[in-house]
Amino acid sequence: MRKLFFISSFVFLAMQTSYAASKNVCENKIERSKECVESINFKNSDFYNKKGKFLPEKAKDAIIALLNYHGYPMFDGIRDRIFVMDYNSGNFLNVGLSGLMYENNQKNLYMLLDIFLLPNQMLAEHWHVDGETTAAKREGWLVRWGKSYVAGIGKDNLSNFPEIKIPKIHWNGKVKANHVKVAERGDFYNLEQVLSPHWQMAGDEGAIITEVANFADGKAVKRTDPKMN
């Protein structure tokens, strides 16, 4: 009986230790895992106050949850470096852009950016023109986690993807670029043609995408939907 008591005590202590260790990992700001995230599904109202004002910190909460869900390598200060935007659409859940700019070097003409898209979120259609001192952006995208539909110029095959629904808030549900490629983890695609329109949309688990390019001039971006310019 005494032996059984010690065995039961040992098992109980082991379970408590395991729980404590798991809880510590989940509370640690640097080391997180998918098991620590209950959900990456949100409502658009999560990102706005009652007057319809966009709440960047709420959007960052969602992005941090997305990063934790996929096991993105976290580091101290990452939250402060993440940018979020809703293109003044009032609908961040469906049309928005978040990311972390690691480097945007105008002198040496290179850029490294990680793009973060929530589940089924669209990165608005746009194109890049020549800047005052630099050429129009050349770029390519590597999906690290999740899935992204990468759209650009080419043969129209958008109807082959019924799961893609262009949000009404985006140019009344329209786009110019209708050639879609499916990019999953490890897939890399280039911009098909300089100066051409392109957009992306994440899959059901969102997408984390590394973008490489020459210098990105924020003033040399044009968006198809005039309201988003």
Evaluate whether residue 64 is within a structural domain.
Answer: no
Evaluate whether residue 177 is within a structural domain.
Answer: yes
Residues 6+ apart with CB under 8 A from 198: 125, 126, 127, 150, 151, 152, 153, 177, 191, 192
When divided into structural domains, the chain yields a total of: 1
Task: List the CATH number of the domain containing 163.
Answer: 2.60.120.10
Evaluate whether residue 71 is within a structural domain.
Answer: no
Evaluate whether residue 96 is within a structural domain.
Answer: yes
| Structural tokens at position 105 | 């070097």
pLDDT at 87 over 80: yes
DSSP characters over 38-91: S-----GGGGB-TT--B-HHHHHHHHHHHHHHHT----TTHHHH-EEE-TT-S-
pLDDT value of residue 26 = 57
Print the domain residue range for 160. Answer: 77-228
- At residue 39 the predicted structure's pLDDT band, cuts being 50, 70 and 90, is confident
Number of other residues whose CB lies within 10 A of the CB of residue 72: 19
Evaluate whether residue 175 is within a structural domain.
Answer: yes
pTM value is 0.86
Segment 105-164, tens digit of pLDDT? 999 999 999 999 999 999 999 999 999 999 999 999 999 999 999 999 999 999 999 999
Evaluate whether residue 211 is within a structural domain.
Answer: yes
Segment 159-210, tens digit of pLDDT? 999 999 999 999 999 999 999 999 999 999 999 999 999 999 999 999 999 9
Evaluate whether residue 45 is within a structural domain.
Answer: no
